[in-house]
Amino acid sequence: MRLLPHRRRSILSPRHWPALLALVLGLGLGATAASAAEPPGRVARLSHLEGDAGYAPAGGTEWLRAEFNRPLTTGDQFSAAPGARAELHSGSTAIRLQGPARLGLDALDDRTTRLQLTEGALALRIRAIYPGERYEVGTPNLAFVAAQPGDYRFAVDPASGTTRVALLEGSGTVYGDGGQAQPLAAGQQAVYTARGLAVQQRGPAVRDGFDQWADARDRAEAQSISGRYVSPEIIGYQQLDAYGDWSSDPTYGNIWFPRVTIADWAPYRYGQWRWIDPWGWTWVDDAPWGFAPFHYGRWTQVGSRWGWVPGPRVARPAYAPALAGFIGSVAPGPRGNGAGRPAERWYPLAPGEAWRPGWRASAQYLDNVNRWNGPRPAPQAQPRFAREPQAISAWHEDRGPQPARWQQQPERRGFLDTQQRDRDPQRQARERMEQQRIDLQRQHDNDRRAQEWRVQRDQQERTQADRAVRERQFAEQAERQRRAQGEQQRQSREQQRQQGEQQRQLREQQRQQFEQQRQQRDQMRAQQDQQRAQREQFRAQQEQQHQQREQFRAQQEQQRAQRPPPPQQQQHDEQHRAQRPDRGS
């Protein structure tokens, strides 16, 4: 792997950036005073790599092969080879590079993230900016300060001496060497030359293949199952999905169980102790997932299985170099010189057990590291796993912990060898040759295992891609079924509506028929009433005629009674005829 030459240029120095100096000092004095007493609670970590990459520890000039679980901090340099793509995480912030690229971590603490890009392309995804926090990106041409969370792109071309700044999301300000300031908004892009913010080109932000790769990484991170159980600020949780399973426990809450096949495996057993400033002795685990479970949370045993308990979900969890207890000498703190061993034996801390660093830490830092909402363990003379032999790990021979099984060539600085004193030169030469042979063999084994892991990772990525395709097909099928069911339900509702309309029309017809029948009944009743009145009238007329007949009969009877005897009647008749005029005249 070809690593880029060691070059460091800080455009934020007082000589080059007088205008920014006052601004940085004004915002950073409080943070400097607060952080001087203890190491920061935030680091960076290499989480994904395609190709070759390396790093140079702070204050050193030797470039080493990049490692996934070695924490990166202020002063470290990171380099990506041509054609390589690398992804780092610092909390929830994703830092992605496309080689050939060189990135310096000029400042990385709880309040300031200052990156120095001297070559290559950088994609900076800031998901959250907390009060008092500051994100800066420096290049040989300019300095950029983000004003809000967003998706920012930078590309430095040393050959042409230009820097391209593109804001896909968010906003910020670009500062020049003479104190010039130019604000940029989302969707804007500018190419700058020299140091006075001379704009070579300006226009809308344009996405390329690197942006599409970064977007795909964002989508994969958004789909992480472990993100449902831990804070997004915990570094390394994205790797937990492929190497373990989550479960819920009534006592500890959410627990992650790694899928480990090593018979004697225990937390903090397979890895290395490294002296990393400013924390001192720091655990670097061998497992590809071995970052988050060894720098956050606690470990417990459920039956015979080891499980990682992330603890309560907090906004900004604090990083710890190793959440372990020691039996023997006390681990030196940041002011130690790295000599000696951190302890003879060590064990993982259980949930509720407090971790005490080897330096004077603030109450807030200890509260963040030791926060626990579950039941506290009963007071014991020793912590839980300090009394269980299967949980205690010890030094392997006299050269440090057991050799790495998964990671690349280890960093030699800070390794321990307590028996190099009082040896004759020939024996030391033989031991150096033997150590070199062992190192070469380890390097060969590590390279072979790394190749196997890359193949396994590619298979996992293909499996995840196939799973994504199947999930998409399943989602499309489910969507089609849902649409078909919705169409059936709509048709069923339409049929029900039509049936309801028919029933309503039938009821209306029945109502009209009932109304007609009622009217007919009313007409018949009126006719019957009329006929009854006519009958009553006819009966009254008959009664009247009967009375008239009775009167007439009575009159006849009266007349008959008053009629004269027959001779008198005959005489009367004759008189009557004589009195009538003659009909013939």
Are 296 and 398 members of one domain? yes
Per-residue pLDDT at 288: 92
The answer to whether 110 touches 31, Cβ cutoff 8 Å, is yes
485 falls within a domain: yes
359 falls within a domain: yes
306-342 residue pLDDT tens: 999 998 888 888 899 999 988 875 555 554 444 455 6
Domain final residue, candidates 187, 221, 255: 221
In this prediction, the residues of the chain whose per-residue pLDDT falls under 50 are 1-36, 335-339, 397-423, 584-585
Domain final residue, candidates 419, 447, 478: 419
Q: pTM of the entire structure?
A: 0.62
Per-residue pLDDT at 428: 63
3-state secondary structure 404-439: CCCCCCCCCCCCCCCCCCCCCHHHHHHHHHHHHHHH
Element (H, E) at 517: helix 425-562
Are 174 and 34 members of one domain? yes
The answer to whether 124 touches 93, Cβ cutoff 8 Å, is yes
Are 262 and 340 members of one domain? yes
Are 383 and 442 members of one domain? no
Element (H, E) at 452: helix 425-562
Per-residue pLDDT at 581: 62
Element (H, E) at 283: strand 280-285
b/e for 95-121, b at 16 or more Cβ within 10 A?
bbbbbbbbbbbbbbbbbbbbbbbbbbb
533 falls within a domain: no
Per-residue pLDDT at 431: 64
Are 134 and 207 members of one domain? yes
Quote the number of domains for the chain: 3
13 falls within a domain: no
Are 254 and 276 members of one domain? yes
What's the CATH number where 126 sits?
A: 2.60.120.1440
Q: If we measure between CA atoms, which residue out of 236, 242, 229 comes closest to residue 87? A: 236
524 falls within a domain: yes
What is the rounded distance in angstroms from the CA atom of residue 183 to the CA atom of residue 548? 126
Are 444 and 511 members of one domain? yes
361 falls within a domain: yes
123 falls within a domain: yes
Are 168 and 213 members of one domain? yes
Are 74 and 199 members of one domain? yes
Q: What percent of the chain has pLDDT over 90?
A: 48
Beta strands in 291-381 (DSSP E): 298-302, 305-309, 324-327, 345-348
Number of other residues whose CB lies within 10 A of the CB of residue 462: 10
Are 109 and 154 members of one domain? yes
Are 160 and 278 members of one domain? no
Are 250 and 212 members of one domain? no
Residue 269, domain extent: 231-419
6 falls within a domain: no
